[in-house]
Amino acid sequence: MPFKKNKTAVKENRLFNALNVIFMILFSILIVFPIWDVIVGSFSSSASLASPGIRLWPENFSLDAYRVVFNDPSIWNSFMISVLKTVIGVTTSVFFTAMVAYAMSKQDLIGRKLFIALGVGTMFFSGGMIPFYLLIRSLGLLDNFLVYIIPALFSFYNMLILMNFFREIPVSLEESARIDGAGVWRIFLQIILPLSTPVLATIALFNGVYQWNDFMTARLYISNEALYPIQMKLYEIIVQQQAANMQNVVGSVIIPTSSQTIQLATIVVATVPIVLVYPFLQRYLISGMMIGAVKE
């Protein structure tokens, strides 16, 4: 009897594992197929994209949509603006938030509970779009590159994640460093930050995705096209292309494409940089996310 029970249990486990594998394959297909469909559509001609049906490969392979996207010389300037604001924004935000979190992780900090209570309040309540616009204008950040950096300099949610991680670092490490003559800045820069690589990489990934995909900041506060990021520039191209398609021309050149293929191409162009960066930070993402699941 025990042998038959064990044999039945083995069969049940194998069946469960097989069903689990099938489910994961189907789930992966559901995730990957829409992405693949966007890529295939961006390389297809306007006529083939207008025809009904599912496309697994580009029909009438065409690069016309990408030519339209990159035909504007200012696209490269917008790309560099996005790169600069992402790199600078991520670096400054992570460093500044880490400084605040390190201070808030100290139980003997005067007014610590008050600061936390005020910070939690900002997570649920805000002044709204119009007061924030007036604040940006009063600070002189309209049509200013710093409007991408300063408002995103600090996130209380990210501060809580970092603070909880810093509290888990043994106090004995800091005490030993103080005995050796290290100051607060040296302890923070040479001990705390190197030990916090997983959580810092997670916060950097969150900030990087936000900075790269941020569209509303430029839409609301930037009117100078020289400061447009790639998202705003591609939006402008789509709007111009939709208007031009009414006459089927862009300038004086007839193009065999449509606004839909342009949109698909812009999605690919805007997504590729983040997709290329993500694998390098993936190994830190899971451990960093688990760190944030600590109370307070």
Q: What pLDDT digit, counting tens, does each position of 111-169 carry?
A: 888 988 888 888 888 778 888 999 999 999 999 999 999 999 998 999 998 998 898 88
Buried b (16+ CB within 10 A) or exposed e, 187-219: bbeebbbebbebbbbbbbbbbbeebbebeebbe
| 248: Cβ contacts below 8 Å, ≥ 6 apart | 254, 255
Spatial separation of the C-alpha atoms in residues 162 and 217, rounded to whole Å: 26
Question: pLDDT digit string (tens) for 15-54?
Answer: 777 788 888 888 888 888 888 888 888 888 776 766 666 7
- Global pTM reads 0.76
Bridge partners (DSSP) listed for residue 73: none
Strand residue runs (E) in 205-255? 249-250, 253-254
Determine if residue 155 is left, alpha or beta; phi over 0 gives left, psi from -120 to 50 gives alpha, anything else beta.
beta
Supply angle C-alpha 256, 262, 264, rounded to 5.
125
